[in-house]
Amino acid sequence: MGKAILIVDDSASVRQVVSIALKGAGYDVIEGCDGKDALTKLNGQKIHLIISDVNMPNMDGITFVKEVKKLPNYKFTPIIMLTTESQDSKKAEGKAAGVRAWITKPFQPSQLVDAVARLCP
């Protein structure tokens, strides 16, 4: 069994592209359609890394990261933001919340897999 990665994005097509890239690299993938949905997936199972969008309905990515960091089982789980947001202020907000890496869409799947491999050896 590979390492489990939680993908959180309201775009089904983005989740599919990320999922295909990660499964191809040997990872197990769990999907959440927004921050609120993704929190329900954090039910004690081991998650090695989280990839989240910023702009989502119900709960945005930055709020989601803050909520994840409150959970004892997941407070040290590395988080990558995969988003169209590229402003330094958003990146700083993400970093303050606990984000470890920031990848701007559009992205190359190989770039994402490399970042995952660095944070989830």
User: Could you report the per-residue pLDDT of 20-44, keeping only the tens digit for each?
Assistant: 999 999 999 999 999 999 999 999 9
Q: Residue 81 in 3-state DSSP?
A: strand
User: Could you report the per-residue pLDDT of 42-81, keeping only the tens digit for each?
Assistant: 999 999 999 999 999 999 999 999 999 999 999 999 999 9
Q: How would you label 83-114 residue by residue, b for 16+ Cβ within 10 Å and e otherwise?
A: bebeeeebbebbeebbbbbbbeeebeeeebbe
In the chain, how many H helices and how many E strands? 5, 5
